[in-house]
Amino acid sequence: MPRMTMIEAIRSAMDVSMGRDDDVVVFGEDVGYFGGVFRCTQGLQQKYGRSRCFDAPISELGIVGAAIGMASYGLKPCIEIQFADYVYPAYDQIVSEAARLRYRSNGEFTCPIVIRMPTGGGIFGGQTHSQSPEALFTHVSGLKVVVPSNPLDAKGLLIASIEDPDPVIFLEPKRLYNGPFDGHHDRPVTAWSKHELGEVPEGHFTVPLGKAEIRRPGSAVTVLAYGTMVYVAQAAAEETGIDAEVIDLRTLLPLDVETIVASVKKTRRCVVVHEATLTSGFGAELVSLVQENCFYHLEAPVARVTGWDTPYPHAQEWDYFPGPKRVGEALIETMEA
Amino acid sequence: MTDNPAPLKFHVPEPEVRPGGTPDFSNVPIPKAGSVDRPPVDVDPRTIRDLAYSIIRVLNREGDAVGPWAGTLTDEEQLEGLRHMMTLRTFDARMQMAQRQGKTSFYMQHMGEEAVSCAFRKALVQGDMNFPTYRQAGLLIAGGYPMVDMMNQIYSNEMDPLKGRQLPIMYSAKDHGFFSISGNLTTQYIQAVGWAMASAIKGDTKIAVGWVGDGATAESDFHAALVFASTYRAPVVLNVVNNQWAISTFQGIARGGSGTFAARGLGFGIPALRVDGNDYLAVHAVAKWAAERARSNLGPTLVEYVTYRVGAHSTSDDPSAYRPKTESDAWPLGDPVIRLKNHLIRRGLWSDERHKQTEAEILEAVISAQKEAESHGTLHAGGKPSTRDMFEGVYAEMPPHLRRQRQKAGV
């Protein structure tokens, strides 16, 4: 089986989808001729032509708004916002329009669009190339929110998202584009070619939305994570020797509550980790769900390890990023509680 | 630089007249009917920049149709157009009253703007898609959409096509080329451009139409729509209905120092026309011209309809708080219904008697539709959509968390 980076897997997903369905169109800033600032759309314009893959003006609301119009015509736009940090000008179109079109028109008009956007920190991206805005989308009825953590899932989830009849926010952790990252920034980075999840089938396959995956089976504590934090959590488990069960949520909305609840009922402890800021972050929803569903099984308070409630800083990158040390401390505290 | 510069002054535009003042539109230049040239649709846009600053008019003060824009409609079509406008006006009056009677929560009238949407609709063909605001119900009336269905939506009753989920008048009628209305202003303008881009991508022959009011042109979506329409030469007609008022705010607040709203298109390389919005024949002629341009792969056109919002903004508004009560009487472009009526009478195609008789017929038809709609319930009485409907349609398939919430709600 071929080895792919996450970038190649994402590109392959769009290639496969465009090849199978003429209604799939791809556009965004620098997405056409140049192939994207992260190379995710390289070669697609050459292969499918300018009417299927094209450059857009620098207008996030324009990109999303036009895609909604296209979707209401019957196309399946898979569009790109260059950085998740720049999605806010399109927020009205996403929340008020894409998410509600099916509901408010009683199904007359639908919005099968995918909005891809690189997300997350750990790359010295500073305030506007590092944010994790997933909670701003998981709060919106009508959206689906997906965060892959490896090339295999990235391709399968993206194809599933493109084929999904509802609007999908597809957040790509750019720190994982070229290889897994466990937060040890002082160590050399490994490439996806050395990782089993870098093995990705060439052709069509899907990974279903709404299904979590257990990355590290364990019995002592459940760690709920997604994106880059999956690898940080795994590293923290190995380094502390705590037999943590690491769950990669993959889809945040709709959420795989069953897998979460079954795991926490087994381990009786839970730690939630994400890069995004703490207050009203997606972790709060996870903690609340665990509390509601597993109260009588819990032997310790549910802990959260997240980014601090500050804008994402530049020089203080590794004091901000919730690395394996901080996650490990939370695991120890939760085991000792 | 001077040593003692004068203090800077902050400028906030104000309308000429406020409540208690005498309405005065003498500063609004109204070109003579028939005085504006009609260029070919493939004209070089750079040569018709003056059309963004004038007003295309067909019906003159005497009620004659004059000039190069006249003659796009048959006698029968003109008579039908009059009937559409009269129907919309009667529909409005009855629904306004129904709101006052507590049968629904909200309504918005079209008084004075009937020609814009009614005449425009007749320049489109089946399959074209409008992206309207909340003040273009004439597209539905003139397109033959059943009044009963409109009323069912307004009443949120058991036959409401939108299952009670939407505020009254936020219609959706795909088969009638009427995109789902959103409460968020101008969002649909860029969506219209996207729809038109899709039609071009697929090699279709259908065109899209975006609609916006004068006030909502200030939204960022307006700018995005013009950029995208211009960049991709999208087959779209971009309509700006300038009725002078955005709730209490006069159009100068949105327009700023720009001469006209039409002129906004010029900076984007989009040909722009300005038309008498109270002249049914002129609206149709301009709509036909712009639609033909779009359909011929010549790209977008921006059209400003100069009209006046005679009624209150909505049933929740009282215009006497911010403009003279008799301002609409002074409006120099008159009443669209009366102007077309006078034209048809002058040509011997119509009479006061037939007008009165038709008014009575229309009233009867509207009341009959209203009775039927009310038999299916009104907002607070009779049949209503089920609570189950509230949970449906958020997604194509109901996800587990919504299924749990629906069970919790006991439905």
Dump pLDDT digits (tens) for B74-93: 999 999 999 999 999 999 99
CA distance A81 to chain B (A): 15
Q: Are A85 and A128 in contact (CB under 8 A)?
A: yes
Residues of chain A with Cβ-Cβ distance to B224 below 8 Å are 57, 59, 61-62, 65
Say whether residue A88 is in contact with chain B using an 8 A CB cutoff: no
User: How is residue B36 written in tokens?
Assistant: 């504006």
How far apart are alpha carbons B204 and B192 in whole angstroms? 15
Please name the member of A65, A101, A210 whose beta carbon is closest to the beta carbon of B399.
Answer: A210
| 0.95 exceeded by pTM | yes
Average pLDDT, chain A: 98
Instruction: State the average pLDDT for chain B.
Output: 97
Residues 191-210 of B with CB under 8 A from A: 191-202, 208
Of B173, B187, B193, nearest to A96 by CB-CB distance is B187
Rounded to an integer, the average pLDDT of B59-73 is 97
Helix locations, A34-78, DSSP H: 44-48, 60-73
Q: Report yes or no: A166 at the B interface, CB cutoff 8 Å.
A: yes
Q: What are A197-244's pLDDT values in tens digits?
A: 999 999 999 999 999 999 999 999 999 999 999 999 999 999 999 999
Q: Which amino acid is at A17?
A: S
- The answer to whether the Cβ–Cβ distance between A104 and B195 falls below 8 Å is no
CB contact under 8 A, A104 and B170: yes
Q: How far apart are CA B204 and CA B252, in angstroms?
A: 39
Out of A69, A107, A141, the one facing B193 most closely (by C-beta) is A69
Can you tell me the mean pLDDT for B43-47? 94
Helices and strands per DSSP (H, E), number in chain A:
12, 12
Pairing of strands A303-307, A221-225: unpaired
Tens digit of each residue's pLDDT (9 = 90 or more) over B188-241: 999 999 999 999 999 999 999 999 999 999 999 999 999 999 999 999 999 999
CB contact under 8 Å between B221 and A61, yes or no, is yes
Chain A residues with CB-CB distance to B183 below 8 A: 96
* Residue in chain A nearest B174 by alpha carbon: A108
Tokens of B104: 């629904």
Between CA A166 and CA B396 the distance in angstroms is 7
What pLDDT, on the 0 to 100 scale, is given for residue B3?
Answer: 83
pLDDT of residue B1: 62
- Asked if the Cβ–Cβ distance from A70 to B192 is below 8 Å, we say no
DSSP B306-356: E----S-SSTT--GGGTS-TTHHHH-TT--HHHHHHHHHHHTTS--HHHHH
**ipTM score here?**
0.98
Instruction: Compare all CA atoms of chain A with the CA of B209 and give the residue at the minimum distance.
Output: A69
Which strand ranges, in their side-by-side order, compose the sheet holding B301-306? Answer: B129-131, B208-213, B236-242, B301-306, B272-276
| Residues in chain A within 8 Å Cβ distance of B396 | 102, 110, 165-166
Answer for the pair A106, B161: CB distance below 8 angstroms, yes or no: yes
Does the beta carbon of B390 lie under 8 angstroms from any beta carbon of chain A? no
pLDDT tens sequence across B241-272: 999 999 999 999 999 988 899 999 999 999 99
**Displacement of CA A145 from its chain's centroid (Å):** 7
Find the angle CA(A106)-CA(A112)-CA(A114) to the nearest 5 degrees: 140
Residue in A108, A164, A286, A288 to test binding to B, most B beta-carbons within 10 Å: A108
Q: What is the DSSP string of B14-37?
A: --S--TTSPP--TTS--PPTT-S-
Residues of A with catalytic function: 129
Neighbours of B32 (CB within 10 A): 12
